[in-house]
Amino acid sequence: MNLIRRPRRNRQSAVIRDMVQETHLSVNDFIFPLFVMEGQNIRSEVASMPGIYRYSLDLLLDEIGQCVDLGVRAFDLFPNLPEAKKDKYATESCNPDGLYLQTIRAVKDRFPDVVVMTDVAMDPYSSDGHDGVVENGKILNDPTLEVLGKMAVAQAQAGADIVGPSDMMDGRVGYIRQMLDVHGFQDVAIMSYSAKYASAFYGPFRDALDSAPKFGDKKTYQMNPANSREALIEAELDFAEGADYLMVKPALPYLDIIKLLSDNYELPIAAYNVSGEYAMIKAAAQNGWLDGQRAMAEALMSIKRAGASVILTYFAKEMAELLNDR
């Protein structure tokens, strides 16, 4: 056959395939989410996330040390708090001697060059399990902003490099930016969860933190999975309000949204490869139904190819090990 175009010519050997490869994953792309809990010498596996643990602070520092040795240098911290420390206004989030702020200080103290991203949201501290102040079964927007603003400033004071509002209240990026600036934290960045969908894929995370909503769901603030144009509205607002990164969450079922934002915005696009996406691959691999390592690498590659330059993923350490072995 006289075919002029034979795309297979560019796939015929490993060297050629490597040479024409368009997208490359690197440990520099990753932010590793980590769960911290009270106590000492505790490493408690999250049942729905094999290989992912809640660590007491001492062991969390060891884990970060191992990750740093593998080249992972950015971490997103989440606290698991006992029910007794939760209340309607998430007051524990601003307790300087509380678990979370103490953890941020300890990590920055031990690893000054590591980037610490924090979670700005009420749910881990909320007795209602919601991301906002609840009144008569409603999630109130503007009163929640005050709580989030204080929380962000407290985290910045503790040493956070990037704060990540994951709540989806309207106006929170602008409010947090203003609060940070007023308190002299001009250099603390905001990674906004811009397009965060009301997703079934957060289930294992809520197990990890015991943070599931006590009533109802999060559909009055998180986005409808059916919508993509609305993601542009959210992104536009976050851009205008001063976000330094725009995040899409979850990642794999929303690759089109990652692509949409990366085509329309010059800011770095982040994607959160969430707990349920991790759990799916792990569960299938444990059953021998697919090759877990290859599925992990392919999934992460697809997120980068879609346009995310930053990937928050529970696979960060495992993928770093694989990248180091290659």
Query: Which are the catalytic amino acids?
Result: 196, 249
Instruction: Tell the smallest beta-carbon distance from residue 191 to ligand PBG (Å).
Output: 12
Piece of the chain touching ligand PBG by CB under 6 A; list 89-97, 106-114, 201-209, 225-233: 201-209
Instruction: Tell the smallest beta-carbon distance from residue 154 to ligand PBG (Å).
Output: 16
Nearer to ligand PBG, 206 or 264 (CB): 206
Instruction: Tell the smallest beta-carbon distance from residue 15 to ligand PBG (Å).
Output: 38
Token pair of 10, please? 């560019």
Nearer to ligand PBG, 50 or 264 (CB): 50
Nearer to ligand PBG, 1 or 215 (CB): 215
Instruction: Kindly state whether residue 185 participates in binding ligand PBG, applying the rule CB under 6 A.
Output: no
Q: Which of 32, 202, 239, 254 binds ligand PBG (CB under 6 A)?
A: 202
Nearer to ligand PBG, 20 or 206 (CB): 206
Instruction: Tell the smallest beta-carbon distance from residue 193 to ligand PBG (Å).
Output: 7
Instruction: Tell the smallest beta-carbon distance from residue 76 to ligand PBG (Å).
Output: 9
Quote the CA–CA distance of 200 and 218 in Å, as a whole number. Answer: 11
Q: How far is CA 123 from the centre of its chain?
A: 15
Q: Which of 90, 121, 267, 323 binds ligand PBG (CB under 6 A)?
A: 121
Piece of the chain touching ligand PBG by CB under 6 A; list 19-27, 62-70, 100-108, 200-208: 200-208
Instruction: Tell the smallest beta-carbon distance from residue 223 to ligand PBG (Å).
Output: 11
Nearer to ligand PBG, 119 or 241 (CB): 119
How many residues belong to the site for ligand PBG (CB under 6 A)? Answer: 12
Rule CB under 6 A: which of 203-232 touch ligand PBG? 205-206, 218
Site string for ligand PBG, 122-161 (x = CB under 6 A): -x-------x------------------------------
Nearer to ligand PBG, 53 or 264 (CB): 53
Closest CA to 244 of 187, 301, 167: 187
Piece of the chain touching ligand PBG by CB under 6 A; list 9-17, 82-90, 117-125, 303-311: 117-125
Cα four-point dihedral sign 162, 239, 33, 205 = positive
Q: Which of 192, 194, 275, 313 binds ligand PBG (CB under 6 A)?
A: 275
Alpha carbon distances (Å) from 223 to 30, 136, 242: 25, 22, 21
The angle formed by the CA atoms of residues 10, 15 and 17, to the nearest 5 degrees, is: 40
Which residues make up the interface to ligand PBG (CB under 6 A)? 119, 121, 123, 131, 166-167, 202, 205-206, 218, 274-275
